[in-house]
Amino acid sequence: MMNIVDRRPNPKGKSLSNRQRFLARARAEVKSAVQNALRKRKVADVEHGEKVAIPTRGIVEPVFHHSRRTGRAEHVVPGNKEYLRGDEIPRPTGGGGRGGSEGSPDGSGEDAFEFTLSKDEFLDMFFEDLELPDLVKKSLRETFAFDLQRAGYTVTGSPSNLSVRRTMRNSMARRISLRRPKQWELEALREDIEEARQRGDEDEVKKLALELDRAEFRSKIIPYIDPLDVRYNRFERVPRPNTEAVMFCLMDVSGSMTEAMKDLAKRFFMLLHVFLIRRYRHVDVVFIRHTSTAEEVDEETFFYSRETGGTVVSTALEKMLEVARARYPTDRWNIYAAQASDGDNYGADSGRCVSLLGGEVLPICQYFAYVEVGDGMGGSLTGLARDSDLWRAYSEVAPAHPHFAMRRVGDPSQIFSVFHELFAKGGVRA
Amino acid sequence: MPDKLSAPIARLEASAPLFSGPNWDYASLRQTYDAIERIALDELGLDVYPVQVEVITSEQMLDAYASVGLPLMYRHWSFGKRFAFHETLYRKGLQGLAYEIVINSNPCICYIMEENSMTMQTLVMAHAAFGHNHFFKNNYLFRQWTDAHGMLDYLSFARDYVAKCEERHGIDAVERVLDAAHALKDHGVNRYAHRGKPNLAEEQRRAEEWQAHAEATYNDLWRTVPGAGKGKEDLDAAEARLQEIKRELGLPEENLLYLIEKRAPRLEDWQRELIRIVRLVAQYFYPQKQTQMMNEGCATFVHYEIMRRLHDKGLITEGSMLEFLHSHSSVIFQPDFDDPRFSGINPYALGFAMMSDIQRICQDPTDEDKTWFPDIAGGGNAYGVLRHAWANYRDESFILQYLSPAIIRKFRMFAVSDDSSKPALKVEAIHDDIGYRRIRSALSRQYDLSRREPDIQVVDVDLRGDRCLVLAHYVHDGVLLAEKSCRAVLRHASVLWGYAVKLLEIDAATDKTLKTYEVAQPG
């Protein structure tokens, strides 16, 4: 006879721990493969998994097997079309499975092992040696929110926290141990009395009546639920760490910023965003764009609408301070900011930028990254290219503030390495 | 099958199809199973374990792939590697998943995937729950080597034991032992059935016989024969003692893992148990490796017969039959050697062709068949002959016995010899009268596990010296071991043995040592 069992509800991912072990074992190889993959990759794909090929070193499972290059062997293969006995066939090159009859034993012939990393695994690998600077808030008046967490039972409490199950369990235990007569036992006794009475067996009636009296008495003095039984759920208040972060994206959208530059900036912002949401439970993003004036906009407008006008960077910093004061008090929010610009600024404004940044913006920020985007010139040419106005101005601020970093990016391929440098453990600063 | 007879057989003759449309449900699964069961038992005469059909998702199927087809397995990174590999192929669409997996156990567990259509489920049940199941229950190798009743229990013990070891000794320590044992697992099987335990009474009787023989043939004169110096006698005695020790160790021994498990000087008990687990799992797969072609051939033949009969009885629709034929013909597709899809002989194709061929020879033989197979040609009882073959052969002997010229012609097989000392391959035989026998024996050798896998034995443990473990690879036809992997495996072996390990490549014909590998004692 057949038996059908539905195994579909069984726990999935039985191989998960094996997979993790495999990744751990191949860590070094996978990591370099990830770095390679990143160079080719668009930021828009950052949320996807990645196919990686790693060298088999370290994950080979060797077995004894015959070398195909020695000795004599005879193979039988199907599909003869033209050969006659005695024909000679040039030896197939490459030594693969072709021409022979057996595949290479257990993958020992492979040079690279190809598989797909899931999104999480990929990002884990990518962000592995990065850390967010200043995860600890410096502000002393940091207040914690509290979460309630179950913490067993108590004998006192408010009725709303009554644990019915636990109470009834105690009550039942007590009733059993004190042998409180059950309702049906009393009923049975009464029926017996009635029966005996009808039979006219007075002795029996008397005896049973006595028993009934005793039972009723017991059931009166042993309460169904005693205050002793009552239990309440107990809750503890546990402080909830500050898990909210806000990320300010500041960008120059003046005429001098080309589409390519904006694209670079966008990539950087996206990467930062992905990074932040891995660390914080909730991340708000505020987009502030500026020309000669600054305004807070939505993402679509931020990246895609065209604007013309001059460039006054300080307006963006002011706007940011304004928004932060209004909506993101530092005791509740971790503030991160990233600014992208081509470095142009209205001449007289740079000084004001420096004082704003050093005096007001940086003290409330966990981290502030300034990325100067160029049009393909590349950060590698920094030494030769003339420093921009803003770069020179910000350079004054940088030394005094370890959580301020500045970098140049000229080409999409550099985004990842720049990002990596900015957040590498141990904090590189400009 | 207790209630086989209670259901009226006449119901089978009903011409209403068992199901229509692609969706399956439990009721139609059960109904179809019953119909298949009646055909399989009454008409094909199969003998099967009770069946348990388990429905799983494709993800669970991938899991099962990773743990080499077993429903539970201990944890090891190599299974994760296999999982990652198959998952990639599957997600890229390069590889479809198997429709089923069947476990050689009692009851026979047969996994079917939820996304299969009802026709596919029918096919799968016929294929796995009856074809493979019959083969598992009846083939002599499985009967001799695997304990169908205990396998799942043992695996669950193994999984828990490995987990406990990891907890106690750390994942790395466990992994080291398992890695090493995995490298030797092909050499961890007993190739000959149950070596009898040394029987004390028997040993004593033999010792007494020797004693009696020595006394009976004692001749004092031998003592006076000059020449044999006293020193030489001592040497002989020492040599004899050594031989004695070797015999006690059971050398030469081809089950490397067994010898290491029992004799390695430095292993702890839990490490020996881990080796034992790997060894027993390898032993479980030993019959499967030797019968893959027959096993698949048997299952494919059975599902084909059953589906055909279901269709003849009007129990499945024309549409289902076409769907079945489509997938059946892709299963038994054999690409030619020069086709990019070629990766060896497809065991389904060859197996199915041979089974059908035997049926043809029994029922409708040609003159050629009568000369080649005088004992079965025209005998009529095809299922009887097949059942006999399924029970008593393995791939190698089956081919040697039953590969007919018709099949050789059908596959257009040819034999090429590959001599590494010559620049070109040479065609030795093609599908003609002179070539049949040569092709048949060459193909049979190709399926012979003892030729496919290197012949490696433990020949010595240098107990007087540095306890070096000496392995010998007996070289046939000049085929040496692949060097790189050989060194790697020897390193693993030395981890388990605890001392240096040496491997000699010895020509089996001339006893000449061709090559020596040495791996020092692990640090």
Residue B250 has pLDDT above 70, yes or no: yes
Are the CB atoms for A225 and A164 separated by under 8 Å?
Answer: no
User: Cα angle vertex A295, ends A291, A298, to 5°?
Assistant: 115
Interchain proximity A99–B425, CB inside 8 Å: yes
Q: If you average pLDDT over every residue of chain A, what do you get?
A: 76
Q: Calculate the alpha carbon distances from B177 to A151, B443, B497 in Å.
A: 43, 37, 11
B54, B85, B418 ranked by CB distance to A73: nearest: B418
Cα separation, A91 vs A88, whole angstroms: 9
**Average pLDDT for residues B412-436, to the nearest whole number?**
87
Give the minimum alpha-carbon distance from A3 to chain B in angstroms, rounded to a whole number: 5
pLDDT of residue B6: 39
A10, A12, A115 ranked by CB distance to B88: nearest: A115
Indicate the residue type of A271.
L
Residue B200 lies in a domain: no
The second-level CATH assignment, the architecture, of A241-423 is 3-Layer(aba) Sandwich (3.40)
Are the CB atoms for B180 and B498 separated by under 8 Å?
Answer: no
Residue B52 lies in a domain: yes
Give the minimum alpha-carbon distance from A43 to chain B in angstroms, rounded to a whole number: 22
Structure confidence at residue A140 as a pLDDT band (50, 70, 90): very low
Interchain proximity A85–B91, CB inside 8 Å: no
Structure confidence at residue B268 as a pLDDT band (50, 70, 90): confident
Work out the number of other CB atoms within 10 angstroms of the CB of residue B149: 11
Residue A99 has pLDDT above 60, yes or no: no
- Is residue B390 located within the same domain as residue B475? no
Cα torsion A53, A56, A61, A65: sign:
positive
Are the CB atoms for B123 and B327 separated by under 8 Å?
Answer: yes
Establish how many alpha carbons lie within 13 A of residue B39's alpha carbon, considering only the half-sphere containing its beta carbon: 27
Are the CB atoms for A357 and A394 separated by under 8 Å?
Answer: yes
Residue A120 has pLDDT above 50, yes or no: yes
- Domain of residue B353: give its range: 334-451
Cα separation, B390 vs B396, whole angstroms: 13
Cα separation, A164 vs A364, whole angstroms: 49
Nearest chain B residue (CA) to A76: B415
Residue whose C-alpha is closest to residue B451's, from B479, B416, B489: B479
What residues are paired with B513 via a beta bridge?
B506
Which of A21, A51, A63 is the best residue to mutate to test the B interface, defined by the most B CB atoms within 10 Å of its own CB? Answer: A63
Give the minimum alpha-carbon distance from B53 to chain A in angstroms, rounded to a whole number: 5
Within 8 A of A90 by CB-CB distance, chain B residues are: 423-425
Structure confidence at residue A428 as a pLDDT band (50, 70, 90): very low
- Is residue B256 located within the same domain as residue B325? yes
Residue B221 lies in a domain: no
Residue B468 has pLDDT above 80, yes or no: yes
pLDDT of residue A378: 42
Indicate the residue type of B396.
E
Instruction: Give the three-class secondary structure for A205.
Output: helix
Interchain proximity B417–A77, CB inside 8 Å: no
pLDDT tens-digit profile of B157-179? 888 899 989 888 988 888 888 88
Work out the number of other CB atoms within 10 angstroms of the CB of residue A285: 18
Cα separation, A12 vs B61, whole angstroms: 10
Work out the number of other CB atoms within 10 angstroms of the CB of residue A339: 26
Within 8 A of A112 by CB-CB distance, chain B residues are: none
Residue A118 has pLDDT above 90, yes or no: no
Give the minimum alpha-carbon distance from A119 to chain B in angstroms, rounded to a whole number: 14
Give the minimum alpha-carbon distance from A21 to chain B in angstroms, rounded to a whole number: 5
Interchain proximity B492–A108, CB inside 8 Å: no
Interchain proximity A74–B452, CB inside 8 Å: no
Residue B121 has pLDDT above 90, yes or no: no
Within 8 A of A99 by CB-CB distance, chain B residues are: 337, 416, 425
Which of B289, B425, B515 is the best residue to mutate to test the A interface, defined by the most A CB atoms within 10 Å of its own CB? Answer: B425
Residue whose C-alpha is closest to residue A231's, from A173, A176, A177, A157: A157
pLDDT of residue A170: 93
What lies within 8 Å, CB to CB, of A105 at 6+ separation is: A63, A65
- Is residue B40 located within the same domain as residue B110? yes
Residue B227 lies in a domain: no
- Residue count (chain B): 523
pLDDT of residue B398: 93
Are the CB atoms for A60 and B470 separated by under 8 Å?
Answer: no
Cα separation, B96 vs B76, whole angstroms: 25
Peptide bond into B107 cis (omega under 30): yes
Cα separation, B481 vs B494, whole angstroms: 18
Which of A6, A10, A80, A98 is the best residue to mutate to test the B interface, defined by the most B CB atoms within 10 Å of its own CB? Answer: A80
Within 8 A of A97 by CB-CB distance, chain B residues are: 342-344
Cα separation, B182 vs B209, whole angstroms: 44
A18, A80, A91 ranked by CB distance to B424: nearest: A91
- Is residue B138 located within the same domain as residue B17? yes
Report which of residues A425 and A67 the model is more confident about.
A67
Are the CB atoms for A50 and A116 separated by under 8 Å?
Answer: yes
User: pTM (2 decimals)?
Assistant: 0.68
Counted domains in chain B: 3
Interchain proximity B473–A64, CB inside 8 Å: yes
Are the CB atoms for B431 and B403 separated by under 8 Å?
Answer: no
Within 8 A of A103 by CB-CB distance, chain B residues are: 343-344
Name the pairing type of β-strands A50-55 and A112-117: antiparallel
Interchain proximity B482–A13, CB inside 8 Å: no
Interchain proximity B183–A74, CB inside 8 Å: no
Give the minimum alpha-carbon distance from B505 to chain A in angstroms, rounded to a whole number: 12
The secondary element (H helix, E strand) that includes residue A315 is helix A313-327
Give B415: exposed, middle or buried? Use CB within 10 Å, 0-12, 13-18, 19+.
buried
Residue B93 has pLDDT above 70, yes or no: no
pLDDT of residue A108: 37
Domain ranges for chain A: 22-60+112-128, 159-234, 241-423
Question: What single DSSP character describes residue B521?
Answer: P
Residue whose C-alpha is closest to residue B283's, from B318, B258, B309: B258
Cα separation, B318 vs B322, whole angstroms: 6
Interchain proximity A86–B185, CB inside 8 Å: no
Question: What single DSSP character describes residue A66?
Answer: B
Q: Concatenated DSSP letters for A119-186?
A: HHHHHHHHHTTB--TT-S---TT---EEEEEEEEEES---GGGB-HHHHHHHHHHHHHHTTPPPHHHH
Which of B269, B296, B331 is the endpoint of a domain? B331
Which of B428, B451, B474 is the endpoint of a domain? B451
Helical residues (DSSP H) of B125-225, grouped into ranges: 133-138, 140-145, 151-169, 171-183, 200-216, 221-224
Interchain proximity A17–B83, CB inside 8 Å: no
* Phi, psi at B108, each rounded to 5°: -75, 120
Are the CB atoms for A99 and A27 separated by under 8 Å?
Answer: no
Task: Count how many pairs of residues, chain A against chain B, have C-beta atoms within 8 Å.
Answer: 276
Which of B295, B312, B331 is the endpoint of a domain? B331
Residue B206 lies in a domain: no
Which of A137-141, B163-167, B257-261, B305-309 is least confident? A137-141
The secondary element (H helix, E strand) that includes residue A88 is strand A88-90
Instruction: Give the three-class secondary structure for B181.
Output: helix
- Is residue B161 located within the same domain as residue B106? yes
Cα separation, B473 vs B456, whole angstroms: 4
- Is residue B417 located within the same domain as residue B499? no
Interchain proximity A85–B432, CB inside 8 Å: yes
Highest mean pLDDT among B7-21, B79-93, B206-220, B338-352: B338-352
Instruction: Give the three-class secondary structure for B101.
Output: strand
A8, A14, A72 ranked by CB distance to B417: nearest: A72
Instruction: Give the three-class secondary structure for B505.
Output: strand
- Is residue B484 located within the same domain as residue B417? no
- Is residue B435 located within the same domain as residue B466? no
Structure confidence at residue A325 as a pLDDT band (50, 70, 90): confident
pLDDT tens-digit profile of B389-416? 999 998 999 999 999 999 999 999 999 8
Residue B211 lies in a domain: no
- Is residue B279 located within the same domain as residue B407? no
Residue B383 lies in a domain: yes
- Is residue B327 located within the same domain as residue B363? no
Farthest-apart Cα atoms in chain B, separation? 98
**Average pLDDT for residues B433-453, to the nearest whole number?**
88
pLDDT tens-digit profile of A220-248? 899 999 888 999 999 888 776 666 778 88
Cα separation, B265 vs B310, whole angstroms: 61
Which of B102, B416, B441 is the best residue to mutate to test the A interface, defined by the most A CB atoms within 10 Å of its own CB? Answer: B416
Residue B197 lies in a domain: no
Residue whose C-alpha is closest to residue B19's, from B93, B154, B123: B123
pLDDT of residue B199: 61
Within 8 A of B485 by CB-CB distance, chain A residues are: 60, 62-65, 108
